[in-house]
Amino acid sequence: MARVHFVPISAAIVGAAAATALGLVAVHWYRSWVPIVGWLATLSYLLLSTVFLLNGLRRRRTTLFGPANVVTAVRSTLVGLIGGMVVVSFAVPIPVALLVALIVPALLLDAVDGWVARRTDSVSELGARFDMEVDAFLLLVLSVYVSNDLGIWVLAIGSMRYAFVLAGLIFPWFRRILPSRPWRKVVTAVQGIALATAVARILPGLDALLVAIALALLVESFGRDVIWLAVRRARPDSEEEDSHVTRTMG
């Protein structure tokens, strides 16, 4: 197994801030009309995600960041930029080519961080949660953007994860630990690909069908977990169930 190399969390934050600054400068240079609200949306997302990440590190009594989390932090920066551009799109047209140029690496890096974690033996619960939340927010902002063309029903893709979390606040049995299923990651990847295709408009006339299929798969995946939880809501958690991970996207 490869030796694990860690970097301080401060270095990761500085790197993310530098990447954000460069990205914002590039966006501003490309279209001088980019309003300040887009900058604020991006920086607000990065600030909040950093605060939550630091809180997670504090609760686990560590100040070190694994290499896989660095990859996720880079992806999170891209997602922040995507979110800022989507916010801007409500006021003025945005360069779709630039938006797609940010989306594609954000989706590709989703496979890289897991691979890095396994190669460096740095898999962690915090890293999995960080990755999951970045996935969730990316799908949310993409579904918001695509809904302008395909209809409000697309928002179901981005909001389903947050609806699941809200249900957990209301119904305690929704918070039971779920068994790990690789299918969830597959479904998450399908959502990202379908929404990215709709954003790029490379399959006119078929993009709505592709997004609808992706939504159907997401409903199936979440529905399977809801049924699993409902069947076991009156049972105490077993030691076997405690070894499983909480629900990820998809």
Contacts of 77 (CB under 8 A, 6+ apart): 16, 19, 20, 23, 46
What pLDDT does 4 receive?
40
What pLDDT does 237 receive?
53
Residue of 180 and 209 predicted with greater confidence? 209
Instruction: Write the single-letter amino acid at 19.
Output: A
What pLDDT does 64 receive?
64
C-alpha separations of 186 from 14, 34, 123, 165 in Å:
32, 35, 19, 20
pLDDT digits (tens, 9 = 90+) for 67-121: 888 888 889 989 998 998 998 888 888 889 999 999 999 999 988 888 887 888 7
CA distance 185 to 191: 10
Whether 130 contacts 72, CB under 8 Å: yes
Mean pLDDT computed over every residue of the chain: 80
pLDDT digits (tens, 9 = 90+) for 9-56: 555 555 555 555 555 555 555 555 456 777 778 888 888 888 888 888
Residue 176 has pLDDT above 90, yes or no: no
What pLDDT does 240 receive?
41
For residue 250, what is the DSSP state? -
Cα torsion angle, 183, 185, 188, 190, sign? negative
pLDDT digits (tens, 9 = 90+) for 207-243: 999 999 999 999 999 999 999 999 888 665 544 443 3
Global pTM reads 0.80
Tokens of 205: 């006339």
Q: Is 242 helix (H, G, I), strand (E, B) or coil?
A: helix
- Find the largest Cα–Cα distance for the chain: 59
CA distance 20 to 17: 5
Contacts of 87 (CB under 8 A, 6+ apart): 37, 38, 41
pLDDT digits (tens, 9 = 90+) for 113-149: 888 878 887 777 787 888 889 999 999 999 999 999 9
What pLDDT does 243 receive?
36
